[in-house]
Amino acid sequence: MLALRTSTRQSLAGLLLSLPSGALLVSLYVAPMLCLLLLAFTNYEMGNVDIEWIGFSNFSRVLNDVVFKRSLWNTLLYVLIVVPLSVGGGMFIALLIHARRRTRSFYEVVYFLPVTSTLIAMATVWQFLLHPKLGPINSMLSWVGMSSQNFLGDPTLMIATLAGIGVWQLIGFNMILFLTGLSNIPKELYEAAAIDGVNHPVDRFFSVTLPMLGPTTLFVLVTSTITGFKVFDTVAVLTQGRNQSEVLLYDIYLEGFTYSNMGYASVLTLIFLLIIVGLSAWQSMHMDKKVHYG
Amino acid sequence: MALNICSVSKSYAETQVLTSVSLNIQAGEFLSLVGPSGCGKSTLLRTIAGLEQQDSGTVEIGGVPVDDLRPNERNVSMVFQNYALYPHMTVAQNVALPLKMRRMSWQQRLPLIGRWIPGHTHIRTSIDREVLEICQSLQLQDLLTRKPAQLSGGQRQRVALARAMIRHPAVFLMDEPLSNLDAKLRVHLRNELVALHKRLGVTFVYVTHDQSEAMTMSDRIAVMDQGHILQIGTPQELYTKPANLKVAEFIGTPKINVFQLRASSPSHFAWGHVELETTCPNQEALRLALRPEHLVMDPERLGDCGIQTAAHIARIEDHGSELLVHLTIHGYPDELFTSRVPRHDRRHALSVNQALTVGFHLKHSLFFNAHGQRIEVD
């Protein structure tokens, strides 16, 4: 029997105990990433048996890919609309609802409904609402004297329309998170504020509510940005990428599963992942300094 | 300034929290509100502050009714049990906030752009100077840039005090400000608060459930129970002449000994098996209460005690300077009573299960009727 020192024995036991979860972590998260990285250097096509190593040519193709650039721009625009509106709107609605007593749960359910409903099903409703001729939204526009719009066909309007649906989908979820954040603010802080003369709601918001919501806001910002970048279902169902309405995930889906260019799709996926990881890390690190954790 | 509370009542839904409470607090007085939890003392304090609205009754500060005024317009400051410091602000910002709210216009208070509004710098400088002064008087000057999370409990307490002091209020309201601190610091801060009260000379209303805090700090104490004030008086009065059995039991540690007296004949009562030479007509039941220091065991002092009986020692607590001896007393087999023995009185050895004689002098005993009211006995 080997006489091992206690510390050695303990670290061996530790390694052994962490082995199962470590193995799972590698096989479920790290290995697929490595596969993705390897595929990016090949011309692999779905169903094709021979794979060739083609070096960086997939990467150089990205630089001249007009569709990819457009989808990147469209996605950025989408995120720039969805994140401020869904985060700011979610916070605003949470503030309105928070003080309600009897009606609060009613509002919570109403705003949360879009989160629970599947978009594929709701798409039909949106298609009807936004229909250029039959849709109620257009009839309202013509009623106030504006010309009717082809929301899901006009390239200048499409991304904004999709973003509107994105906000509709996300705002309830963000609101619930903000409501939790609001109920975690100690009541005494508001009482101390009342005694200190912080009476106006705007003062109260900037002196107590907003700073105390810091951690929640950071979390909601990061998750909303990720959700925004991952926009896919609305595009797939409502526009199918028609009239230059491609977004990143839809482009990847087209390249990989419709055109079978798995190698190229892998490169696009890598870029997508880099954007999300980079942005989340930047948001967290930059904002973390300003956020107070109580 | 004087503080007058006139028949204030308050209820939440079905629960009556304050029942017609009246209280007159003199200018510069240190008054403590004590009582068990749920007795309404905090609600009364919050009503004075304006954080709760009473259902009826009036609150006057300096002779002026303040019922329709907002908390900040009442010229009161409050220190909360958990300090309620703004966790995202530095010590200096916490202390400065009341002045900022009072002296700056809303444009000047705006985040980011406020500093460009005319007059901001001038007000800012004067506020900073006052903050520094107050913080220096509480030895906080080295902590100005810290956040509350980086402070110890005692330091947070002092920041809360500084924030309360900076407006120079007429009345200080304190809601169990020491209860979150460890025992040693609590005793130390008691003295600091008393010194602060002397220095500022303003009215203090101090809520606590700790009777020893109230006894050691206050000019007067109001004992509350179930929304009523049971008695108001100096610590000495409450200790020696409690109006009520609840007050007698609440004030003083260890708790006062309470004996149920046996009616031996109409108007005559017995303590266990000892007939008392007192008459007390028209009483159905009578209780006798005795402070632990008046339940005597020392043979030399027993001679002065008119009333004596047999007892057994059940347990001895050694507190260093004194002993607390828990006894069973003849005639009260199921109860334990406490006798306080100063260290220098221990001329004879005491041990558990020892049989001995205990006694007391009738002049030290307090009598309470069936309703718990204290009565004088001939």
Terminal CA-CA length for chain B: 43
Q: How many angstroms separate the CA atoms of B33 and B227, rounded?
A: 12
CATH class of A59-248: mainly alpha
What's B358's DSSP letter? E
Residue B315 has pLDDT above 60, yes or no: yes
CA distance B91 to chain A (A): 14
B159-174 residue pLDDT tens:
999 999 998 899 999 9
Region B101-107: what's the mean pLDDT?
A: 85
Model confidence over B289-305: pLDDT tens digits?
A: 999 999 998 888 888 88
pLDDT of amino acid B345: 64
What are the residue ranges spanned by the domains of chain A?
Answer: 59-248
B174: domain CATH number?
Answer: 3.40.50.300
B249, B268, B302 — which closes off a domain?
Answer: B249
Distance CA B221, CA B22 (A): 14
Q: Which of A200-204, A228-232, B108-112, B218-222 has the lowest mean pLDDT?
A: B108-112
Which of A191, A197, A202 lies closest to B102 in CB terms?
A197
User: What is the CATH classification number for the domain harbouring B258?
Assistant: 2.40.50.140
Overall number of domains in chain B: 2
Distance CA(A234)–CA(A81), nearest Å, equals: 15
Domain finish residue from B249, B277, B292: B249
Residues B77 and B125 in one domain: yes
Structural contact between residues B227 and B33, judged by C-beta atoms closer than 8 angstroms: no
Structural domain boundaries, residue B281 = 254-375
The Cα–Cα gap between B256 and B272 comes to 17
Low-confidence ranges of chain A (pLDDT < 50): none
Q: Checking DSSP bridges between strand B171-175 and strand B76-79, what pairing results, if any? A: parallel
Summarised one tens digit per residue, pLDDT across range B72-100 is 899 899 999 889 999 999 999 999 999 98
What is d(CA B276, CA B279) in angstroms, rounded to the nearest whole number? 8
Contact B82 A188 (CB under 8 A): yes
The distance from CA B62 to its chain's CA centroid, rounded to whole angstroms, is 23
A212 near B CB under 8 A: yes
Q: How far is CA B275 from CA B198, B261, B267, B272, in A?
A: 50, 10, 12, 8
**One domain for residues B173 and B224:** yes
Say if the Cβ atoms of A191 and B88 lie within 8 Å.
no
Closest chain A residue to the Cα of B73, Cα to Cα: A197
Residues B31 and B99 in one domain: yes
Inter-chain contacts counted by CB atoms under 8 A, chains A and B:
71
Provide the 10 A C-beta neighbour count for residue A229.
22
Greater confidence (B301 vs B364) lies with B364
**Separation of alpha carbons B1 and A154, rounded Å:** 73
Regarding whether B274 and B187 lie in a shared domain, the answer is no
Please report the sign of the dihedral spanned by the C-alpha atoms of residue B44, residue B45, residue B47, residue B51.
negative
Angle formed at CA B63 by CA B59 and CA B66, multiple of 5 degrees: 40
Model confidence at B346: pLDDT above 70: no
